[in-house]
Amino acid sequence: MSNLDTFRKQTGDWLEANCPARMRTPSKRSEGVYGGRNAVFPNEDAKIWMERMVEKRWTAPEWAPEYGGAGLSPEEAKILVQEMDRLQCRKPITGHGFWMLGPALLEYGTEAQKLEHLPKIARGEIRWCQGYSEPGSGSDLASLRCKAEDKGDHFIVNGQKSWTSDGDKADWIFCLVRTNSDGKKQEGITFVLFDMESPGVSTRAVPLITGDAHFCDTFLDNVKVPKENIVGEIHKGWSVAKALLVHERKMMSELERNMPKGKYSVVEYAQHYLALDENGKVKDSSMRNRITEFLMENKTVGLAQKRAFEEGMAGVLDMRVTSIFKYVGTENKKVKDELIIDMMGVAGAGWDNEQFSDDEYYRAYEWMSGKALTIAGGSSEVQLNLVSKRSLGLPEQ
């Protein structure tokens, strides 16, 4: 038995023995665990599961032990994910610290910043939010105007950020601010970190079509930010921002694996809600074609992601593919949600748990909330522009 086979066996055995049964069931969005100073758990088993994974250092398995991780190799980390998927284990904890800030700090942070922030992320002691977009500076992020005035050993920050996911629940924020207005707009941006409880920080929730309010407007009024909280170099934050977006888009390209699962597969939804012929096939030929096209596309995306992983293992991965996968992943999810809603007919309009099943309510919710994913992290249109310019070398129009 190879070392990886032994690791797989030991990992599966440990998960089987330590993951509570309730943490092996499909979860709703509201049941996610994000940690932080005011951590909320949907139930006691969720808390137990997070604590066990923290003790095992498998919340951030590839990070070095001094940063709160287990120091696993990429191959071992992949096996851990596969074994968790096999046993249907929920993620013990998630959030912007794991997806985005952590990888950015590993690349650009000082040793002091890594030792200060990464172990807290891995242990679920801190919850982060992202301060990127502003009114009028979304897709054209480099035009941001949130100003940081140099006061010697600190900045004074004034401005507004938009679409701050869970900003009203986060402990700290990683934020892009303008420290220089001369020259190219990308060259006057600095990447900073600060506590959301700092004087002058306030948030206002933004209601969505689903009735949720995950996003916030964040207002910064004379907020003091120490210069030791600069990540990377002053005026050079655009490089850090771009690197972080690569990790965000990678996360979003894997949405289907990271998100709560529906009650049925696409084929099972068809069998449950559509009329079938005597051979058990969907009678409607146009719907059969749509289902087949989706399954083929989904298989293709999976193979492409597998190829990218193998290229990464060989050290030849081109990170430009993250824009491709971000576009394909979020658009593919949108197609899936629309397909299932169409198959469900009237049941797909469920917005009342008394008249519709929990799953029918969930599918309607996913259909509405999924639209935002083609905008978050860079809209589909922006991703297509990036692919055409950077990957295909096409001329700008």
Q: Do 174 and 212 reside in the same domain of the chain?
A: yes
Range of the domain at 41: 3-94
Is 357 contained in some domain? yes
Q: Please give the pLDDT value at position 16.
A: 97
Q: Do 180 and 151 reside in the same domain of the chain?
A: yes
Name the domain boundary from 206, 237, 268.
237
Q: Do 168 and 58 reside in the same domain of the chain?
A: no
Reported pTM: 0.79
Q: Do 258 and 359 reside in the same domain of the chain?
A: yes
Q: Do 219 and 301 reside in the same domain of the chain?
A: no
CATH at residue 204:
2.40.110.10
Beta bridge pairs of residue 137: 134
Mean pLDDT of the 378-391 span: 72
Q: Do 276 and 386 reside in the same domain of the chain?
A: yes
pLDDT at residue 317 above 90?
no
Is 121 contained in some domain? no
Helices (H), 19-135: 44-56, 74-86, 96, 102-108, 111-122
Q: Do 286 and 230 reside in the same domain of the chain?
A: no
Name the domain boundary from 94, 118, 153.
94
Give 257 or 332, the one with higher predicted confidence: 332
Give 213 or 62, the one with higher predicted confidence: 62
Q: For residue 326, count other CB atoms closer than 10 A to its CB.
A: 30
Question: pLDDT, tens digit, for every residue of 324-356?
Answer: 777 778 888 889 999 999 999 988 887 766 788
Give 160 or 393, the one with higher predicted confidence: 160
Question: pLDDT, tens digit, for every residue of 82-123?
Answer: 999 999 999 999 999 998 999 999 999 999 999 999 999 999
Rounded CA gap, 393 and 154, in Å? Answer: 42
Is 136 contained in some domain? yes
Question: Predicted confidence band at 43 (pLDDT cuts at 50, 70, 90)?
Answer: very high
225 closest CA partner among 159, 288, 299: 159
Is 9 contained in some domain? yes
Mean pLDDT of the 246-270 span: 66
Dihedral sign computed on CA atoms, order 331, 337, 339, 341: negative
Mean pLDDT of the 173-187 span: 93
Q: Which of 124-138, 187-201, 300-314, 377-391 has the lowest mean pLDDT?
A: 377-391
Is 207 contained in some domain? yes
Q: What percent of the chain has pLDDT over 70?
A: 89
Question: pLDDT, tens digit, for every residue of 113-159?
Answer: 999 999 999 999 999 999 999 998 877 788 999 999 999 999 999 99
Q: Which residues contact 397 (CB under 8 A, 6 or more apart)?
A: none
Backbone conformation region of residue 115, classed left if phi is above 0, alpha if psi is from -120 to 50, else beta? alpha
Give the Å distances, CA to CA, from 301 to 172, 385, 391. 35, 20, 17
Question: Predicted confidence band at 14 (pLDDT cuts at 50, 70, 90)?
Answer: very high
Element housing 155 (H / E)? strand 154-161
Mean pLDDT of the 193-220 span: 91
357 closest CA partner among 368, 344, 367: 344
Q: Please give the pLDDT value at position 253.
A: 47
CATH at residue 16:
1.10.540
Q: Do 269 and 383 reside in the same domain of the chain?
A: yes
Q: For residue 65, count other CB atoms closer than 10 A to its CB.
A: 11
Q: Which of 55-69, 151-165, 188-202, 207-221 has the lowest mean pLDDT?
A: 207-221
């991965």: which residue's tokens?
317
Q: Do 26 and 87 reside in the same domain of the chain?
A: yes
Is 116 contained in some domain? no
Name the domain boundary from 210, 237, 264.
237
How many domains does the structure of the chain reveal?
3
pLDDT at residue 59 above 70?
yes
Q: Do 347 and 372 reside in the same domain of the chain?
A: yes
146 closest CA partner among 101, 182, 188: 188
Q: Please give the pLDDT value at position 355.
A: 80
Q: Please give the pLDDT value at position 290.
A: 95
Is 102 contained in some domain? no
Strand pairing of 172-178 and 128-131?
parallel
- Residue 389: DSSP 8-state: I
Q: Do 231 and 267 reside in the same domain of the chain?
A: no
Q: Which residues contact 50 (CB under 8 A, 6 or more apart)?
A: 33, 35, 41, 59, 92, 93, 124
Is 25 contained in some domain? yes
Q: Please give the pLDDT value at position 118.
A: 98
pLDDT at residue 200 above 90?
yes
Question: Predicted confidence band at 396 (pLDDT cuts at 50, 70, 90)?
Answer: low
Q: Do 347 and 269 reside in the same domain of the chain?
A: yes
* Mean pLDDT across the chain: 88
Q: Please give the pLDDT value at position 374.
A: 73
